[in-house]
Amino acid sequence: MTALIYCPFPNEECAFEIGRELIEEGLVACINVGGGIRSLFKWQDRIDEGSEVAAILKTNAKLIDAAIARLEHLHPYESPAILGWHCDAAGSATQAWLGGLRPAD
Amino acid sequence: MTALIYCPFPNEECAFEIGRELIEEGLVACINVGGGIRSLFKWQDRIDEGSEVAAILKTNAKLIDAAIARLEHLHPYESPAILGWHCDAAGSATQAWLGGLRPAD
Amino acid sequence: MTALIYCPFPNEECAFEIGRELIEEGLVACINVGGGIRSLFKWQDRIDEGSEVAAILKTNAKLIDAAIARLEHLHPYESPAILGWHCDAAGSATQAWLGGLRPAD
């Protein structure tokens, strides 16, 4: 079963750097880094704003927990927002691609 | 359990305004407002185009129905597109953050 | 039950063209085509980069497999990345809209 992870990063370089590490470690197969996003959020009882970039990472349901734990460790924020979900359907090529992921030893 | 909501808005200001209200009401913890999107859609048997901005809102599985109902009420469109889904996995900080949401009385 | 499909395309025109076809065939009701994304991915043991545009397509849980199969057929990539998921919650207007989808004969 395929899976997606959504995670904002402070900037594109940071997203690419961490994405590359997760790809090299065999935890995700791809990261798509989008353009800038404006964020409004409540943290410790204060509403604040920020500028980030949004990223989507592609993995599978078996690896999603390990990928998210590693992403949380690598992310520069103290409390990054990282959310992942299983996908109920995928293209046949996508299923083969993401099903073939093997974490590096 | 964490959850995400996807919803296009007519523009960034509108997304931020409604996002702020949902945050103040304790129904979501964050809104990420992306850059412009071009939309092609069928409505009442006609295919039409439009320019919008896409937004992702972060909440939890207990509040998602109330957050979507309130968002639908606040949204300027007569029939806004609002879709939400439960997330099977999340970073530990994200789980604590979104799990701590408490709707205002 | 409503559903979403995420799929990068080589460019906006291509996304719009294929989106229009899927809408005319009654398999999706809408495509939102975002701005440019930078992609880092592993394919056949090589890590590579690319520039694409991200798109979100709106459909329902009954049609998602047919919509993805058709999208995979129409997509210009040999192995496009196409992932779809059921949505646990949606606005009432969205449920009526996407629930009313009828594939063309």
Residue B44, domain member (yes or no): yes
Q: Is the pLDDT of residue A105 over 90?
A: no
Residue C17, domain member (yes or no): yes
The CATH number covering residue C93 comes to: 3.30.70.120
pLDDT, tens only, A40-94 = 999 999 999 999 999 999 999 999 999 999 999 999 999 999 999 999 999 999 9
Residue A102, domain member (yes or no): no
> Distance from B34 to chain A by nearest Cα, in Å?
4
- Which residue among A4, A31, A88 sits closest to C86, beta carbon to beta carbon? A88
Q: For residue B17, name the pLDDT band (cuts at 50, 70, 90).
A: very high
Residue A91, domain member (yes or no): yes
Q: Is the pLDDT of residue A21 over 90?
A: yes
pLDDT, tens only, B57-72 = 999 999 999 999 999 9
> Distance from B71 to chain A by nearest Cα, in Å?
16
Query: In which domain, by residue range, is A54 found?
Result: 2-95
Residue A86, domain member (yes or no): yes
- In angstroms, what CA-CA distances link C41 with A19, A31, A56, C46, C98? 9, 6, 12, 8, 32
Residue B12, domain member (yes or no): yes
Residue C105, domain member (yes or no): no
- Of B74, B90, B66, nearest in space to B3 by CA: B90
SS (H, E, C) chain A: CEEEEEEEECCHHHHHHHHHHHHHCCCCCEEEEEEEEEEEEEECCEEEEEEEEEEEEEEECCCHHHHHHHHHHHCCCCCCCCEEEECCEECHHHHHHHHCCCCCC
Domain count, chain A: 1
| Best residue in B87, B95, B98 for a mutation probing chain A (most A CBs within 10 Å) | B87
Rounded average pLDDT over B88-101: 98
Q: Is A33's CB within 8 Å of C40's CB?
A: yes
Per-residue pLDDT of chain C (105 residues; tens, 9 = 90+): 999 999 999 999 999 999 999 999 999 999 999 989 999 999 999 999 999 999 999 999 999 999 999 999 999 999 999 999 999 999 999 999 999 999 997
Q: Is B91's CB within 8 Å of A85's CB?
A: no
Q: Is the pLDDT of residue B105 over 80?
A: no
> Distance from C33 to chain A by nearest Cα, in Å?
12
Residue A100, domain member (yes or no): no
